[in-house]
Structure 1
């Protein structure tokens, strides 16, 4: 079975970045579109739809957090992705991409 290339969408990433608050801590700030760190290859990110709107501090905690286990980081990221999808739907941004 051939390996599929990840789906890329600058419109999706722009929509995620347009959210005005972090999905984990709730701070109102300029968020980053943080990609999920699970299910990717070396130096390759997962599909753009598996991103979360995170502040730089929460993004760093998910990526390199020393105070959380890998399972805790993955749980937090999965929660943030779901909340990002919910926010995109509430703002009617999903159908426009």
Structure 2
């Protein structure tokens, strides 16, 4: 259902898809929801304390208010703030 960039192995060994800085951020950081264009989500742009919390918020929205929108407008991605202060995309919903 969701395409993760990280695997259960050491993510930094995952063919360069995930840097060590991003891996460290995934362990405990702040997440946000984005649209398919990579900009903050127009409705759900808020800090989330975990990947699971961000996914729950997006799924709840998609099953409620988001139902009125087209599939493209409902689609979302999740970013994590790295310890370097940059946002890195973790996944896009499919």
For the aligned pair, the TM-score class normalised by the smaller chain equals: 0.3 to 0.5
User: Normalising to structure 1: TM-score of the pair?
Assistant: 0.34
User: Normalising to structure 2: TM-score of the pair?
Assistant: 0.35
Which structure has more relative contact order (CA 8 Å, sep 6+)? It is: 2
If each structure's helix is expressed as a fraction of its own residues, which one has the higher value? 1
If each structure's strand is expressed as a fraction of its own residues, which one has the higher value? 2
